[in-house]
Amino acid sequence: MFISVGFYINVSLMFANRYLGKNRNPVLIHELSQKDLGIVVVIPCFSEPDILQTLHSLIQCYLPPVGVEVIVLINHSESASEEVRYRNYKTRREIEAWLSKNNKPGIHFFVVGPVELRRKWAGAGLARKWGMDEAVRRLNMVNKPGGVIVSLDADTLVEENYLVEIEKYFREHPRDVGATITFKHQTSGLTGKHLQGIVLYERYMTYYKNALEFTGYPHPMFTVGSAFAVTALAYIKRGGMNRRKAGEDFYFMQNLVQLGPVGEIHSTTVHPSARLSDRVPFGTGSVLQKWMKGEEDLSATYDFQAFLDLRRLFDAKDSFYQITEDEYLKILLNFPQPLTAFLEEVNFWQDICLLNANCAEISTFQNRFFQRFNAFKILKFLNYTHEIYYEKAGMAEQINRLNEYRQGKCM
């Protein structure tokens, strides 16, 4: 038997035993979980000067009717410089000093590390994985498969209703395996080109999501590392967070949608930093850095015509069910040339064959179609067509075109 906070749980019934045994990450927190634990917020922290602002915004939150824990995982690579190591140890001391003066019943903060990550994998993905795996362990202690793991960043601020709205959402949507959270970047103190850049970048993200929705793709979503949550059971079923050095949130969320509904929490907002960064090859910080250097034009985006091409494909998906190769080739002749060329480039006929071999009903085929032509393939299509057929075009014009189609003016 396992003893936790004065009550007993049968070890054999704990939902995450197999996952934790397979991953074998070190136990980071040895204190027992509070018995009413329902939400664990995970914050990877690598050389972060403003982490206390994030913690302060969390402790100011109204508390939900479940226990809340916050795990700050300070981390660096085993090959980190002495400067980075010093900064991380300094951060640990600062957090410990802050915790000694800030205490609020119902929310428990844990600062872990600095932990050393293997040089080969060190980065945002592995740090987030270690923290989220520890969150699973905390929820497993009290056998809460429906407990919620929240991903946050160390440069992000949250609103006072952040925790209560997350708890409320998952309580009211028990079938959802995860949810994204509305975000708006911090702009206080930004001026000139920097401010213009973050405004344009958010506009691009909104355009991209709305354009995907217009195509008929069933899983359009924002994928921001500081703005999503997942149930503990879905997290382990999905196999946990990946170890990618960048883009780990995108890959995780796009795979999560294959498990079940991923909703959107609009009733609260997180506020990521809009700082410049060259830590990773893409993402907000990297894009803004390139914009400031003149290496990226944020006023231009994917030509809306490419999304119209995708809509043609998605509208025709049912016609691919139990189709012959000759029939498939005839359908391709009616598609726009950029779309046909891409489907031939990636040998999509092979995907159709695999789908038809494993789908006895058209309803199954319809669902699994988007497992083959998923968000990764959509992005590959957009980049392929913009290298050969299209050019990126003015943001405002493409948004207007999208809006006209959404309003039925161009149908």
Segments making up each domain of the chain, as ranges: 2-297, 303-391
CB 132 within 8 A of CB 202: no
pLDDT at 245: 55
**CA separation for the pair 223, 376 (Å, rounded):** 13
For residue 290, what pLDDT band results from cuts at 50, 70 and 90? confident
Rounded percentage of the chain residues whose pLDDT exceeds 90 = 65
Is residue 2 pLDDT above 70, yes or no?
no
- What's the rounded mean pLDDT across residues 115-133? 79
- Kind plus residue range of the DSSP H or E element containing 223: none
Give yes or no for residue 90 having a pLDDT over 90.
yes
Give the pLDDT of residue 6: 42
Tens-place pLDDT, residues 31-86:
999 999 999 999 998 878 889 999 999 999 999 999 999 999 998 877 878 898 88
pLDDT at position 328 over 70: yes
Average pLDDT of the chain is 89
Which has the closest alpha carbon to 136: 246, 241, 242, 257? 241
CA distances from 296 to 191, 300, 390 (A): 18, 9, 17
Q: Which residue has the tokens 């080969």?
A: 120
Average pLDDT for 109-113: 92
Q: Looking at per-residue confidence, does 277 or 89 come out higher?
A: 89
CATH for 2-297 (3.20.20.30, 1.10.10.10, 3.90.550.10, 2.40.10.220): 3.90.550.10
How sure is the predictor about 390, in pLDDT bands with cuts at 50, 70 and 90? very high
First-residue to last-residue Cα distance in the chain: 64
How high is the pLDDT of residue 112? 92
Q: What is the rounded CA–CA span in Å between residue 45 and residue 117?
A: 13
Does residue 394 contact residue 303 with C-beta atoms inside 8 Å?
Answer: no
Give me the phi and psi of 399, to 5 degrees please.
-65, -40
156-160 average pLDDT score: 97
- At residue 12 the predicted structure's pLDDT band, cuts being 50, 70 and 90, is low
At 84 the pLDDT is 85
| pLDDT greater than 60 at residue 7 | no
CA-CA distance, 163 to 92, in Å (whole number)? Answer: 24
Following DSSP, what letter does each residue of 340-391 receive, concatenated? Answer: HHHHHHTTHHHHHHHHHHH-SSHHHHHHHHHHHS-HHHHHHHHHHHHHHT--
| Phi–psi pair at 285, nearest 5 degrees | -60, -40
The pLDDT of residue 296 is 85
- Which residue did the predictor score with more confidence, 127 or 270? 270
* Res 280 pLDDT > 70: no
Nearest alpha carbon to residue 306 among 280, 339, 279, 276: 339
Residue percentage of the chain with pLDDT more than 70: 91
Q: What is the pLDDT of residue 5?
A: 43
Mean pLDDT is highest, among 23-27, 41-45, 222-226, for: 41-45
DSSP H/E element including 264: strand 262-271
